[in-house]
Amino acid sequence: MNESPFNLQQILDGECLVAHFQPIVSVRKKTIVGYEGLTRGIHPLTHKLISPKALFHQAVPMGVVLELDRLCRKTVLENFKEIQKKEPDAILSLNFEASIIDQGVVGSGSLIQQVQSLGISPQSVAIEIIESNVEDIEALQKFIHTYRQYGFLIALDDVGAGHSNLNRIPLLKPDILKIDQYLVHGIVKDFYKQEIFKSLVNLAHKIGALIVSEGIETEEEALFVTELGVDMMQGFYFYKPQPKEEIKNHVVSFQVRDFQTHLKEALFEKLKIKDDNFKKHERMTRKIQSELTKSTVYNFDARLLELIHHFPSVECLYVLDKDGVQVSDTVFSNAGIRNKNRLMFRPAEKNTDHSMKDFYYMLFNAGHRRSTFVTEPYISLATGNSCVTFCRVFKDGEGQTRVLCVDINNDYLRLFS
């Protein structure tokens, strides 16, 4: 959006704004559940669109942020009223410039007056707040309490972005968490983003909030975040922001149904791949364990070194005794090359106690030994890589109970991604 110099006061005086709406979709419901309302300025001379960022950037030194914010909301609400006539159950996600809360707008009643004057139910509006824009946390809590009492939903925007303060979530008790596009882009190949995303989904659902994933641009991203448990999505993959007159709901609905078909196919295929990979690596673990039953603690190291080179997906091998104490070296293959900080990530040595790890408890739970256990993906303290551990109980050549641990490089196979 190439923006020529503009006079903000002229835009405010002439109310030269236009509302655009981006559909928010639910794959499970196969439908549009709402819209995020966005505003663009209209250049008084060229009639070109001006981004909201440029508008608010100029509004700050002029001291007219509050006036501009109210005009933006007025423009969006007036246009949403027309949408609601056709879609009475639609929810509007309404951006609110939270920094004005520090200016004492908590009790002004401007927003509720705007909504009521248009005949829009507050229950149809989710107020989007970037909480980090507010310094006065007590005023923010008062604002949220006031508008929640009116019936508005509260949505925290840009969650997961660099400036979001997660410690404020329990204070504000939002109804909706909108995950920032930063976490979505590249998530398919980024273990850290995946774990943060899953944690946010888990947090939201435990506190009774819904998750909206913003910035979905590809089918691959949509498939991935859906599998991670997101409730709703919005982004260019489904539809770009448009004036209300140009939104073609049948196109969005077709895209959602088409995506749902691809989702089912992808999930079935992924489950098959996971099942095949699990069986393959369980057989591999059994084979290694079978070889070790012929060995004793005195030649475990040499035998592990011989075995590991036959299995390229294995990152490292090691053996514990029945009390969870490591009795072998941690033996690495080429897949286990350690390229992370060696002060933080280094292999466990002989006599290291692993009895506090989850897999040990699961293997020997209440005295009932399980033959095999597989961990969830985690960051290995030995290498700093993402891995999955297959564990198996066996008897060695002297009849002693041992535990074989096989770390599979999850970045190499994406075994459980």
Q: Which two tokens stand for residue 23?
A: 């559909």
**Among 33, 19, 20, which Cα is nearest to 253's?**
33
- Residue 417: predicted pLDDT: 45
Q: Which SS3 state, helix, strand or coil, does residue 27 take? A: coil
Pairing verdict, β 31-42 and 17-26:
antiparallel
Going residue by residue through the chain (417 aa), what tens digit of pLDDT does each one get?
556 788 999 999 999 999 999 999 998 888 999 999 999 999 988 899 999 999 999 999 999 998 999 999 999 999 999 999 999 999 999 998 888 887 766 666 888 999 999 999 999 999 998 877 777 888 888 889 999 999 999 999 888 776 666 777 888 899 999 999 999 999 988 888 988 999 999 999 989 999 999 999 999 999 999 999 999 999 999 999 999 999 999 999 999 999 999 999 998 988 888 888 888 889 999 999 999 999 999 999 999 999 998 888 888 999 999 999 999 999 988 655 555 566 678 889 999 999 988 888 888 775 556 678 888 888 888 888 888 999 999 999 999 999 999 999 876 555 444
Within 8 A by CB and 6+ apart from 279, the residues are: none
Contact of 331 with 299, CB cutoff 8 Å? no
Residues 394, 292 contacting (CB under 8 angstroms) = yes
**What is d(CA 101, CA 139) in angstroms, rounded to the nearest whole number?**
7
Angstrom distance (rounded) from CA 270 to CA 274: 6
Q: Distances from the Cα of 132 to the Cαs of 99, 179, 199, 294, in angstroms?
A: 9, 14, 20, 62
Contact of 96 with 74, CB cutoff 8 Å: no
Whole-number Å distance between alpha carbons of 83 and 317: 61
- The span from the CA of 408 to the CA of 105, in Å, is 56
Report which DSSP code applies to 132: G
pLDDT of residue 1: 52
Residues 6+ apart with CB under 8 A from 130: 98, 156, 157, 158, 163, 164
Residue from 215, 206, 251 nearest 233 by CA: 215
- Sorted by where each starts, the structural domains of the chain and their CATH numbers stand as 8-267 (3.20.20.450), 282-413 (3.30.450.20)
As a whole number of angstroms, the distance between CA 153 and CA 125 comes to 6
